[in-house]
Amino acid sequence: MAYELYYWPEIQGRGEFVRLALEEAGADYVDVARLPARQGGGTAAMMQLMEPDASGRFSFAPPFLKDGDVLIGQTANILLYLGGRLGLAPRDEAGRLWTHQLQLTIADLVVEAHDTHHPISVNLFYDDQKKEAKKRAKEFIDSRIPKFLDYFEQVHAANPRRSGFMVGAKLTYVDLSMFQIIEGLRYAFPRAMQRLEPEYPRLVELHDHARERPNIAAYLASARRLPFSEEGIFRHYPELEH
């Protein structure tokens, strides 16, 4: 039975971290909200699963994943579930938890990246908070991007297996998520990243290797890979780099 991924059909967003894992593993999955309604897809089908049912378990927001009778929400939680099943996490419990911890830290970075363009409220348009966004973006570029990337660069260097991956001897979903982080930051803050990237050679090399993996390369070249846009988490507003 195919995995069913539920996420907004027009954007990469948080769902992209899950898509990358599914694509790398060659997993059979359906991006449900991107299907026509006549095939049981569409946003309405996704929203229906966000309502309480007899199980009493339902998601606050997408993404969520359905695997038979199991319904899992939250990006890091979905990847924790998929990691062992797709061969994208260590087999030992300590390794799985360490991988999950890194993914949760990535989730923190994603929130801060989003808040550069919506620092006051998600219920306001960007233009309604542009002045505050400029201040928030400056702090993010000057302080927060280096703080996060410094940490991840050190994690990569400290991997005792010296494998070229973040965790252990093999690629994990965290490596794919770091690829997406670098891609997103390059899109949102291209000038800042051009300046900062020489300080993070391990992360850049990891990004480049992930991009060249056959399944990922095929995905990136396909229509399944949605483009970045000013509707998603990583948005490019040139004025935020001034």
Question: Does residue 200 form part of some domain?
Answer: yes
Give me 195's structure tokens.
């300046």
Hunting for tokens 């056959």 — which residue is that?
214
To the nearest 10°, report the CA torsion of 162, 87, 148, 126: 150
Tens digits of residue pLDDT in 26-54: 999 999 999 999 999 999 999 999 999 87
**Same-domain status, 188 and 78:** no
Confidence of residue 197 (pLDDT cuts 50, 70, 90): very high
pTM of the complete model: 0.97
Domain span holding position 72:
3-86
- pLDDT at position 56: 87
**Same-domain status, 185 and 121:** yes
Q: What is the CATH number of the domain that holds 146?
A: 1.20.1050.10
Q: What is the CATH number of the domain that holds 16?
A: 3.40.30.10
End-to-end CA distance of the chain: 49
Query: Rounded mean pLDDT of 160-176?
Result: 97
Whether residue 33 contacts residue 11, with contact meaning beta carbons closer than 8 Å, is answered with no
Query: Rounded mean pLDDT of 7-29?
Result: 98
- pLDDT at position 146: 98
Question: Does residue 226 form part of some domain?
Answer: no
- pLDDT at position 242: 74
Which DSSP state fits 142? I
- pLDDT at position 42: 96
Give me 164's structure tokens.
């070229």
**Same-domain status, 68 and 144:** no
Tens digits of residue pLDDT in 96-143: 999 999 999 999 999 999 999 999 999 999 999 999 999 999 999 999
Give me 180's structure tokens.
């997406």
Domain closes at, from 59, 86, 113: 86
Angle between helix 201-212 and 145-158 (nearest 10): 80
**Same-domain status, 80 and 122:** no
Percentage, residues of the chain above pLDDT 70:
100
Question: Does residue 227 form part of some domain?
Answer: no
Side chain identity, residue 26: G
Domain closes at, from 86, 111, 136: 86
Give me 221's structure tokens.
């070249």
**Same-domain status, 100 and 208:** yes
